[in-house]
Structure 1
């Protein structure tokens, strides 16, 4: 399946799509120099297909490209970063809310 991940800032989220079909979203909030990931949802019909991982990887690559840091409040994003600490651990910033 050809998945495209796009930042949709007017909705405060990254979207993973196959054509017009919305497969998953990663909600975020922006703060000074940060992208705070708050919630990730994969459509039930596509769970277990790696869509969530594709989404998070592309979102974090975009955060890096913009010179920002990420705060993984979302448990899925936090777990993904822990599993890929070597490539993405440097992007993680302390949560400003403690």
Structure 2
């Protein structure tokens, strides 16, 4: 199966495609310097296959390349950041305490 993650800026979300069909998305809201991830969803038939992890990693990596700080408001994105500690550095210091992330 082929997978591709695309940033759909018109809908403010990253979308993951599996064999050309959308399998899920991660919605965000941008400020001048941060990108807040507010909701992530993987369609039921694609759950449990690692697509959520692929989607979130790609979305966070693209956001960092674009110079955004990360605000993991969505539980799926927050859990990914907690498990993959290297992403904590992309969360602004002022937001970490409120999100339960290490300073």
TM-score by length of 1: 0.91
Consecutive unaligned residues in structure 1, runs of 5 or more? none
Across the aligned residues of Structure 1 and Structure 2, the Cα RMSD in angstroms comes to 1.2
Q: Which residue of 2 aligns with 1:88?
A: 87
Unaligned runs of 5+ in 2: 99-103
- Say if 2:24 is the partner of 1:27: no
How many angstroms does 1:49 deviate by? 0.3
2: CA distance between counterparts of 1:5 and 1:82?
22
How many pairs are equivalent? Answer: 95
2:62 is matched with which residue? 62
- Aligned residue in 2 for 1:71: 71
- Tell me, in whole angstroms, the C-alpha distance in 2 between the residues paired with 1:77 and 1:17: 18
Between 1 and 2, higher relative CO (CA 8 Å, sep ≥ 6) is seen in 1
What is the distance in 1 between the residues matched to 2:63 and 2:52? 16
Q: Which runs of 4+ in 1 moved over 6 A?
A: none
